[in-house]
Amino acid sequence: MLKARLLTAIVLLAVFVPVTLFAPIGLFRALIGIVLVFAAWEWARLLKFKDYVPVFYAVLAALAMLASLTTATQGGEPVGLYKAAGLFWLLVVPYAFVRRPVLAAGAWRVFMLVAGIVLLLASGHALVDARMRGVGFVLSLLLVVWVADIGAYFTGRQFGRRKLAVTISPGKSWEGAIGGAILVLVLAAVGIATQFAAPTLFTAYAARFGVPRAMVCVLVLVVFSVLGDLFESLLKRQAGVKDSSALLPGHGGVLDRVDALLPVLPIAMWFLS
């Protein structure tokens, strides 16, 4: 398992790092589109669709992505997508945590199918928009999630006592979440103070809102990264699976790797739009 995990990580880094840092925006957009199509396939599977339905859903997501990219190329702004995604994470997800509706049945299943397309499109556009602002900007946006996750993991292992959501994801603790948030805030403060690799997400927030409000915005993003992780865990628990798929040996599926990014990407760009 460890060998497969390491090999998959090396392959992913070998593909994504050069494309993110050096490739033309068209190639970066195409790669993100491919990732999101696989994520759409997994989303339908988590809603307990079988046979060819997840494939049809992935094709629909691809067509929707092509249509939305055409609109964006012609000058259309995806702010509406960012708002729709933001409202889902702000309103629907907390409701799902509290009331625990069966998301893969009845009207909720239909709603989740529509919401999945919106969430994936919004995330894809946000990532491409971030890349167009510069390599430093897109990397700083990704670091918010990565650093929060790393900080939460090590802080939780060392100090974790109080469970964050024991019935959804027993491994997560309040101490881990707080530790991850503190680490991200330190990163943001250093980025703003040093202007390293500017423009970054941190310097953009500081320029627009001032430093105190910029730090609040970053903290909000960390909170939503936790919500994204927990919501995918809820979907998997209701679907009765451990991973969203086995597409990435040793790592589970695509959604397992991007769950925390799904809310953070559109909300981060919504703040600046």
Place of tokens 């997800």: 93
CA distance 161 to 185: 22
User: What's the whole-number mean pLDDT along residues 14-18?
Assistant: 85
Identify the weakest region by mean pLDDT among 7-11, 21-25, 222-226, 269-273.
7-11
C-alpha 217/C-alpha 195 separation (Å) is 18
Within the chain, strands assigned E span 163-165, 169-173
Whole-number percent of the chain with pLDDT over 70: 95
Give DSSP secondary structure letters for 74-100: TT--THHHHHHHHHIIIIIHHHHHHH-
pLDDT, the chain, mean: 92
Tell me the per-residue pLDDT of 71-87, one tens digit each, with 9 for 90 and over: 655 455 688 999 999 99
Query: What digits encode the pLDDT tens for the residues 175-225?
Result: 999 999 999 999 999 999 999 999 999 999 999 999 999 999 999 999 999
Q: How far apart (Å, rounded) are the C-alpha atoms in residues 145 and 222? A: 7
pLDDT level of residue 23 (50, 70, 90 thresholds): confident
User: Can you tell me the distance from the alpha carbon of 222 to that of 15, in angstroms, rounded to the nearest whole number?
Assistant: 26
Q: What is the mean pLDDT of residues 222-237?
A: 96
Question: What confidence score (pLDDT) does residue 163 get?
Answer: 93
pTM of the model: 0.94
**Whole-angstrom distance, CA of residue 6 vs CA of residue 260:** 21
The stretch 1-6 carries a mean pLDDT of 65
Tokens representing 11 are: 């392959």
198, HSE (Cβ side, Cα atoms, 13 Å): 14
pLDDT of residue 65: 86
- Please check the confidence at residue 6 and state whether its pLDDT lies above 80: no
At residue 78, the pLDDT reads 84
Show contacts of 211-215: CB within 8 Å, 24+ apart: 214/188, 215/185, 215/188, 215/189
Predicted pLDDT of residue 68: 80
Residue-level pLDDT at 111: 97
